[in-house]
């Protein structure tokens, strides 16, 4: 008898459209692989919905707050429903950029210097010497990211908006120039290393991530073999240091151009990587010999409680 999988998608975070897309793709692939699938657009009544469905496994295709910060994971632990991806603690830790950086730094993974500051203070005077990046501490998909350029006299005044949609405490992080590099981890194996080239975007923002043609992916990344292997090693080390489970994706900046410093830093680890047609993890997994149906089936079979 095939497992009954509830694919959790949607939710109410900013990434809702991406999550719906991810969830639909995963649900279709799981049905093709022979699983019984229930598609669940997660709302505030999720406990009642799951109690009625009684699935064998919850496939977490949610992105952003509630979906990847330990909240839905806690609900699933309470209901004793095995679930995919990382557990409560790991999800909460990886989602908090400041806490995650502290853990990674302690594990010997290079990270960029940063400062935690109230947004209104950051609007009065430069939090760091430009260039630097301003990021919400607990958001995904590059929401709320502002880049302060080297010749910018004043901090971004968007920070003073009365309708600022993110928490007031933000992170200012030293800008690391170079290439956008990412590496997926599947279980205890680091897969391929991919370079992301944003097309018509100053950085890998929301549109570059999710709009077809928004970025070019080079897989395997054209970098020196020792650097390639170092990125794989650091990705697995970050996955383990943060206590991740299932699949994760580590994002890096590599400054290896002709005038570059050779610096390599880990920006963050994503415990709920996108699973859309333009997403990185499915592409990296396919390059390693795991087609999409096989990938989502592996994720389901890896599910458990107390992760």
pTM comes to: 0.91
Q: What pLDDT band is residue 205 in, cutting at 50, 70 and 90?
A: very low
pLDDT surpassing 70 at residue 209: no
Catalytic residue annotation = 15, 141, 210, 249, 251, 268, 270, 274
pLDDT surpassing 60 at residue 207: no
What does the pLDDT read at residue 202? Answer: 56
Reported as a single tens digit per residue, the pLDDT across 82-113 is: 999 999 999 999 999 999 999 999 999 999 99
What does the pLDDT read at residue 143? Answer: 75
Q: What pLDDT band is residue 206 in, cutting at 50, 70 and 90?
A: very low
What mean pLDDT do residues 5-30 have? 95
Whether residue 22 is preceded by a cis peptide bond, meaning omega within 30 degrees of 0, is no
Measured between alpha carbons, how far is 40 from 220 in angstroms, rounded to an integer?
Answer: 35
pLDDT surpassing 70 at residue 200: no
Reported as a single tens digit per residue, the pLDDT across 109-157 is: 999 999 999 999 999 999 999 999 999 998 765 678 899 999 998 999 9
More confident residue, 204 or 74: 74
Cα→Cα distances 6→17, 61, 97, 200, Å? 18, 10, 29, 38
Reported as a single tens digit per residue, the pLDDT across 213-269 is: 667 999 999 999 999 999 999 999 999 999 999 999 999 999 988 888 889 999 999
Reported as a single tens digit per residue, the pLDDT across 46-70 is: 999 999 999 999 999 999 889 999 9
What does the pLDDT read at residue 112? Answer: 95
What does the pLDDT read at residue 213? Answer: 60
Q: Which residues lie across from 186 on neighbouring strands?
A: 189, 247
Q: What is the DSSP string of 204-260?
A: S-HHHHHSTTSEEEESS--S-HHHHHHHHHHHHHHHHHTT--SEEEEEEEE--STT-
Q: Which residues lie across from 180 on neighbouring strands?
A: 196, 253
More confident residue, 288 or 1: 288
């Amino acid at each position: 008898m095939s497992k009954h999988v509830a694919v959790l998608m949607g939710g109410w975070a900013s990434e809702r459209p991406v999550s719906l897309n991810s969830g639909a793709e995963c649900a279709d692939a799981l049905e093709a692989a022979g699983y019984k699938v229930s598609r669940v657009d997660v709302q505030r009544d999720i406990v009642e919905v799951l109690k009625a469905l009684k699935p064998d496994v919850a496939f977490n295709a949610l992105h952003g707050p509630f979906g990847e910060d330990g909240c839905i994971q806690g609900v699933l632990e309470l209901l004793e429903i095995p679930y995919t991806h990382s557990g409560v603690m790991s999800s909460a830790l990886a989602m908090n950029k400041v806490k995650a950086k502290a853990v990674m730094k302690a594990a010997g993974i290079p990270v960029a210097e940063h400062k935690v500051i109230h947004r209104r203070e950051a609007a009065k005077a430069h939090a760091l010497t430009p260039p630097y990046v301003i990021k919400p501490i607990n958001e995904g998909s590059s929401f709320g990211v502002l880049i302060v350029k080297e010749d910018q006299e004043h901090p971004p005044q968007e920070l003073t908006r009365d309708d600022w949609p993110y928490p007031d405490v933000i992170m200012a992080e030293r800008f690391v120039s170079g290439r956008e590099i990412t590496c997926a981890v599947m279980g205890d194996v680091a897969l391929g290393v991919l370079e992301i080239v944003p097309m018509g975007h100053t950085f890998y923002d929301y549109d570059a991530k999710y709009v077809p043609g928004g970025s070019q992916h080079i897989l395997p990344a054209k970098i020196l073999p020792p650097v390639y292997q170092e990125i794989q090693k650091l990705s697995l080390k970050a996955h383990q240091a943060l206590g991740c489970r299932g699949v994760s994706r580590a994002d890096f900046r590599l400054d290896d151009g002709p005038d570059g410093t050779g610096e390599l830093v880990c920006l963050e680890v994503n415990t709920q990587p996108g699973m859309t047609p333009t997403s990185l993890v499915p592409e990296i997994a396919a390059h390693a010999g795991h087609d999409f149906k096989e990938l989502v089936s592996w994720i389901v079979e890896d599910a458990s409680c107390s992760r």
